[in-house]
Structure 1
Amino acid sequence: MTQAPHKPEETEVSAALFAEIQQFYGRHMRAMDEGRVAEWTGDFLADAVFATNARPEPQRGRAEIARNARAAARQLQEDGVLRRHCVGTLELRRAKDATLVAKTYALITRTVVGGRSELEFVCTCEDVLVRQDGRWFIRHRQVHRDDLPRD
């Protein structure tokens, strides 16, 4: 049986844009992991949506996302836990409306200070990114933890 050649539907992006988005994610994830919640949430549009199968309802708006992120960061600090988001396998495509769709895998580690590091979650992530005022923002984030039902 002969296989049909793969014809991606997405529009390819330049190597420079790919590198720019990798830099965006490096800075974005490091901000959260280092407790700089305001910087991390500043990467979301004011009306952004953050949906995950770990919560029954999506978080709507930067203010709600920030409230939840601050609470999570505070709890981690109180528990003496360092969390790291290791994001990779970036797949990037341009959508017809000039947004970018970024798909990644995220390995999230948990380290209790003085203890061993362990893998806490494995996730797939899909972000819709928009460029405004010369920088990238997240319009919509969908995270699926592998250990939870996808519904």
Structure 2
Amino acid sequence: MTATLYEEVQHFYGRQMRHLDEGEVTEWATTFTEDGVFAANARPHPQEGRGAIEQGAREAAERLAAAGVRHRHWLGMLEVAEQPDGSVLARTYALIVATPEGGPAAVHLSCSCEDRLVRVAGELKVRHRQVYRDDLPA
């Protein structure tokens, strides 16, 4: 793993999470491969395919907007490992801060995240994301 790859992954996550937090769900979804998977221990079944991932994000954004709550995702403790097949394993801790309109910000969720990143036309994309909420059994 090189410092350049680590920096590239950091930049990728900064852009990806900003899209999500700003409600730019189409742009966020394009950071996944067409056949990407979003799995979480909070859901009985993973979202499979970019369209399903985008739809799930859109529904979540609409619920937050209706409730007057803004989320910010902070990813830290990044660990990056290039794999023999050229993919990248990226592991992070994620904090989701919720701020209700006119109210105080508070940590909403604490999670760990494991992504398999691949290059598509030279850009990093998520092929598989696994999120583990700390308040639920793995």
Q: TM-score range by the shorter chain?
A: over 0.9
What residue is the counterpart of 1:26 in the other structure? Answer: 14
CA distance in 2, matches of 1:36, 1:50: 17
CA distance in 1, matches of 2:120, 2:30: 13
CA distance in 1, matches of 2:60, 2:92: 22
What residue is the counterpart of 1:127 in the other structure? Answer: 115
Code of the residue aligned with 1:84 in structure 2: it is R
| TM-score normalised by structure 1 residue count | 0.90
CA distance in 1, matches of 2:83, 2:122: 18
Structure 1 unmatched runs, 5+: 1-12
What residue is the counterpart of 2:87 in the other structure? Answer: 99
For residues 87-124 of structure 1, the C-alpha deviation after alignment (integer angstroms, 9 at most, x for no partner) is 01100001111100000000001000100111110000
Is it true that 1:147 corresponds to 2:135 in the alignment?
yes
CA distance in 2, matches of 1:20, 1:128: 14
| TM-score normalised by structure 2 residue count | 0.98
Is it true that 1:42 corresponds to 2:30 in the alignment?
yes
CA distance in 2, matches of 1:18, 1:137: 15
Q: How far did residue 78 of structure 1 move?
A: 1.0
Code of the residue aligned with 1:16 in structure 2: it is T
SS at match of 2:36: strand
CA distance in 1, matches of 2:46, 2:37: 7
Q: How far did residue 42 of structure 1 move?
A: 0.3
Aligned residues: 138
Structure 2 unmatched runs, 5+: none
Moved over 3 A (4+): none
Q: Percent identity?
A: 51
